[in-house]
Structure 1
Amino acid sequence: MIIEAAIGDAYGAGFEFRKDAFIKANNTLTTYHSHGLYTEIYKKYTDDTQMAIAIAELLVEEDDWTQEKVADKFVEVFHRDIRRGYSNRVYDALYSSKTGKDFLKTINNESSGNGAAMRAYTLGYIRDIDQLKAFVEIQARTSHDTQEGITGALRIALAVHYYLYVNEGSLIDFLDETIQEKGNYQIVSPIDMHSYPTTNAVIPLVIEATSMQSCLQKGIDYGGDTDTVAEMSMAILSVKKGVINDLPSFLYDELENGKYGRDYLVTLDRKLQQKFGF
């Protein structure tokens, strides 16, 4: 799950908020492209995956969560492998913090962005819905303590949960009933980086998908926050039954493989699967 998400993130980063002409010419799934702003993001995942790693590690290590434990993990994971891609708001708070307590004091958490959603997908492994919702809300409130931030994170975690454990009825009906909302799942191009527009796009993309390759390409064609859309979509599709994992091999082979690269992500995926009996 994390490896597929990281691939989507790293490939999608090359198209994030780029012009339509660039996307049309280069979204061919034949090579990675460097980020338009941070050129060092080339064949590398961004903050999306780094924060998802933090959530995944905490999920493996801890059964009792607090906002401070989540923030501690965010600070730890950031400082051991500093990379760009974060908003200035989050990057500056992480960079200046030595502990989770520092981060919670520093961060302005009144954001409706998609940051809490982009890191929430591994929480879909939690079988108990009440616990899942509680953990999603705890991690969201550290940096996105708004209804939109929390709801978007719930949508993504619950989509993974649905494909792992439910697979009956409609995903949208399941989300609406569980979250007690009436989601407006319409894709608006370019896809905005706020939580509702991003998750409004991801949910129909994964519902319709039968191929990971075609979904990755289609999501990026919409433009906007392409790395986050690709990351979420690939994570969810990695557990959706009947979907072909036909991602080109270069996406795996050329993905960064340093200390926290490809092999580390595969190992972390295995630890999650073992913890939750898969």
Structure 2
Amino acid sequence: MILEVAIGDAYGAGFEFRDLDFITQNNNLTQYHKHGMYTEIYKRYTDDTQMAIAISELLLEDDNWNEIKVADKFVEVFHRDKRRGYSDRVYNALDAGSNGADFIKIINNGSNGNGSAMRAYSIGYLKDIEHIKAFCEIQAKTSHNTIEGISCAKRIALAVHYFKYNLGDGATLISFLNETLKENEIYKITSPIDMHGYPTTQAVIKIVSEATSMKDCLKTSIDYGGDTDTVAALCMAILSQKQNCDKILPSFLYEELENDKFGKDFLITLDQKLSAKFN
């Protein structure tokens, strides 16, 4: 799962908030593109995957979460491998802090952005739904302590859970989420896809509920424009667990993805550890 996420993140980063004309001309799944602002983001994943790595490592290490433990892990993972893609709000809090307590003290956690959702998917590996909801809320509160931030994290983790544990083929995903979260959400796609939690998760859930191919979904999710790396990464995370879905992606996406200390091989090992614990 994490490997596919990193691919979606790295490929999608080349189109993040770019003009739709640029996306139409270049989103053909033949090569990675440099980020429009941070040129060092080229064939490399961004904050989306890095924060999800932190959540995944904590899942492997600790079954008793609190906000300090989550924030500690965010700070640890950031400082061992600093990379761009974070909002200034989060980057500065991570950079200035030496531990989770510092991070929580520094950051304004009143955001409605999609950051709490973009990193939540591996929590869906947990078998107990109440446990999933509790962990999603704990991690969201570190940086997105809002109704939107908490709810949207739960949506993504529960979507992974729905497919991993074969609760349906996608047709009932939206009703499952609405029933489980006691919501009455209408899931729709508004292009370009905004970086706030609700429009991001509305689009992602709508896309994956209907998708039958990871390759087609990767292209389609980016065609909408907006926060393309987050949308693509989340779609790849959820579809990696969907049984009636063709999971073949173009080979260059694997072959050219970064493979330094925390690159491709590291991600494969992390996926193996998650599978061993939760299968």
Q: Determine the structure 1 residue equivalent to 2:63.
A: 63
Shift of 1:210: 0.5
CA distance in 1 between counterparts of 2:137 and 2:11 reads 29
CA distance in 2 between counterparts of 1:50 and 1:155 reads 20
SS at match of 1:235: helix
CA distance in 2 between counterparts of 1:185 and 1:129 reads 21
Q: Determine the structure 2 residue equivalent to 1:162.
A: 162
Does 2:39 match 1:17?
no
Q: Determine the structure 1 residue equivalent to 2:274.
A: 272
- 2:51 maps to a residue whose letter is M
CA-based RMSD: 0.7
Q: Determine the structure 2 residue equivalent to 1:258.
A: 260
TM-score by length of 2: 0.98
Q: Determine the structure 2 residue equivalent to 1:200.
A: 202
Q: Determine the structure 2 residue equivalent to 1:178.
A: 180
Q: Determine the structure 2 residue equivalent to 1:140.
A: 140
Q: Determine the structure 2 residue equivalent to 1:4.
A: 4
Shift of 1:4: 0.4
> Could you give the per-residue CA deviations for residues 2-46 of structure 1, whole angstroms, max 9, x where no partner exists?
000000000000000000110000000000000000000000000
Please list every run of 5 or more consecutive structure 2 residues that lacks an aligned counterpart in the other structure.
Answer: none
SS at match of 2:165: helix
Q: Determine the structure 1 residue equivalent to 2:223.
A: 221
Does 2:73 match 1:77?
no
- Identity across the alignment (%): 66
SS at match of 2:179: helix
Mean CA deviation greater in 165-174 or 256-265? 165-174
Change (3 A) 1:48 1:104: same
Does 2:94 match 1:111?
no
Shift of 1:71: 0.2
Please list every run of 5 or more consecutive structure 1 residues that lacks an aligned counterpart in the other structure.
Answer: none
SS at match of 1:132: helix
Shift of 1:167: 2.4
Shift of 1:246: 1.8
SS at match of 1:153: helix
CA distance in 1 between counterparts of 2:244 and 2:233 reads 19
CA distance in 2 between counterparts of 1:237 and 1:89 reads 30
SS at match of 1:186: coil
- 1:127 maps to a residue whose letter is K
CA distance in 2 between counterparts of 1:52 and 1:205 reads 21
CA distance in 1 between counterparts of 2:218 and 2:167 reads 22
SS at match of 1:188: coil
- 1:220 maps to a residue whose letter is I
